[in-house]
A = this chain, B = another copy of it.
Amino acid sequence: MAHGSAPVVGVDLGGTNMQIGVVDAANRIVGQARLKTQAEQGVDGVIERLCAGIETACAGAGLKTSDLGGVGIGAPSPIDASCRIILNAVNLRWRDVPLADLVSRRLGSVPSTLDNDVNVAVWGECMLGAGRGHRNVLGVWVGTGVGGGLVLDGRLHHGTFGTAGEIGHVIMLPEGGPASEKLEDHAARSAMERRAAHLLRANERSSLRDMVEGKADDVRIRHIARGVEEGDPLAQRLADHSARMVGIAAANAATLLSLDCVILGGGGAEALGEWYLARVRRAFDEVVFPEELRQCAIVTTQLRDDAGLLGAALLARERLAKD
Contacts and interface: CB of A to CB of B under 8 A. Distances in A.
Given A166-B255, A169-B255, A290-B166, A160 B260 contact: yes
Contacts of A63: none
Copies of this chain present = 2
Interface in A225-263: 244-245, 248, 251-253, 255-260
A136 interface: yes
Given A171-B252, A172-B174, A244-B174, A258 B290 contact: no
Interface in A19-64: none
Contacts of A166: 255-256, 289-290
Nearest to A290: B163
Nearest to A183: B252
Contact of A162 (B135, B152, B258, B296): B258
A159 interface: yes
B287 A161 contact: no
A243 to B, nearest CB: 12
Interface of A: 78, 134-136, 148, 150, 152-153, 157-167, 169-176, 181, 244-245, 248, 251-253, 255-260, 287, 289-290, 292-293, 295-296
